[in-house]
Amino acid sequence: MKIAIASDHAGYRYKEEIKRHLLDKGHEVRDFGTESGETCDYPAFIYPAARAVAQGECERGIVLGGSGNGEAITANRVRGIRCALCWNADTARLGREHNDANMISIGERTISLETALRIVDIWLTTPFEGGRHQRRIDLIDQMM
């Protein structure tokens, strides 16, 4: 799977670890930055990653920050993106099963690296249930 990844300075360390994890599992990763832990403005990196997912250049996307909130908000401004803020296995699983999340946002300052990697693995392997959930996704798309 081709996966977009991006972070600000506060999510940089986990971004690098998750990128390595994805590559080890055979995924293709497109890194939109940032390239260090130096203070930066997250929209400059998150928006291009979300746009790549929305335009089909990448199948899914992972964005990271301190809390993950600003990154999720930025990604969700792009039409066609459903970015779930995940902090445990359940939010990752439900983001896929019920919301067909094509992106996730993770806060490096809020969870352990082990939990972040588990979230990524669950999100990548959980299918969308469809059914009543598809109707809701369609309603969201109609409103945009």
Measured in Å, how far apart are the chain's first and last C-alpha atoms?
Answer: 27
Q: To the nearest whole number, what is the mean pLDDT of the chain?
A: 97
**144 with 106: CB under 8 angstroms?**
no
**144 with 76: CB under 8 angstroms?**
no
97 catalytic residue (yes or no): no
**86 with 115: CB under 8 angstroms?**
no
Q: What is the pLDDT of residue 43?
A: 98
Active-site residue among 21, 27, 98, 133? 98
Sheet holding 2-7, edge to edge: 28-31, 2-7, 60-65, 103-107, 83-85
144 pLDDT higher than 80: no
98 catalytic residue (yes or no): yes
* Whole-number percent of the chain with pLDDT over 70: 100
Q: Over the stretch 46-86, which tens digit does the pLDDT of each residue have? A: 999 999 999 999 999 999 999 999 999 999 999 999 999 99
Residue in 136, 130, 107 with CA at minimum distance from that of residue 119: 107
Q: State the DSSP code for 62.
A: E
Q: Over the stretch 103-121, which tens digit does the pLDDT of each residue have? A: 999 999 999 999 999 999 9
pTM, to two decimals: 0.96
Active-site residue among 71, 108, 114, 133? 71
Q: Kindly indicate the confidence band of residue 24, based on its pLDDT and cuts at 50, 70 and 90.
A: very high
The structural domains of the chain, ordered by start, are 2-143 (3.40.1400.10)
Q: What is the pLDDT of residue 142?
A: 85
